[in-house]
């Protein structure tokens, strides 16, 4: 019989506020509101990054899109992000298309 696993109390601690030169303390507190650490590092990063992206996109015009330019990627390294995911315990996944519409 396996021994029951006890939850880490740190998982239920409030999320620390992000630190940013662009945000007021009130805006930073709003970003962290309601978040609680998960025991999967990839999921924990995914949850916070998803919230940051949604908050950023809320300030864009409807015709604007978010993209990323990565170093070491094929071509010019531009990726138009359509989705974000994770594969625990240590991988964040970005899904999208390059300027030629290739995945």
As a dihedral over the C-alpha atoms of residue 92, residue 31, residue 25, residue 40, rounded to 10 degrees, the angle is -40
Contact 45, 87 (CB under 8 A): no
pLDDT in the model for residue 45: 92
- CA 97 to chain centroid: 18
11-43 CB burial, b ≥16 within 10 A, e <16: eeeebebeeeeeeeeeebeebeeeeebeeeebb
- Predicted structure pTM score: 0.69
pLDDT in tens, the chain (103 residues): 556 655 555 556 677 777 777 788 888 788 888 888 888 899 989 999 999 888 888 889 989 877 778 887 777 888 888 899 999 999 999 898 888 888 8
């Amino acid at each position: 019989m396996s021994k029951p696993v006890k939850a880490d109390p740190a998982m239920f601690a409030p999320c620390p506020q992000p630190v940013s030169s662009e945000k007021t303390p009130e805006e930073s507190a709003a970003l962290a509101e309601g978040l609680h650490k998960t025991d999967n590092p990839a999921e924990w990063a995914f949850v916070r990054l998803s919230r940051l992206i949604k908050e950023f996109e809320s300030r864009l015009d409807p015709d604007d899109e978010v993209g990323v330019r990565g170093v070491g990627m094929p071509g010019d390294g531009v990726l138009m992000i359509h989705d974000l995911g994770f594969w625990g315990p240590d991988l964040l996944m970005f899904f999208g298309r390059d300027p030629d519409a290739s995945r």
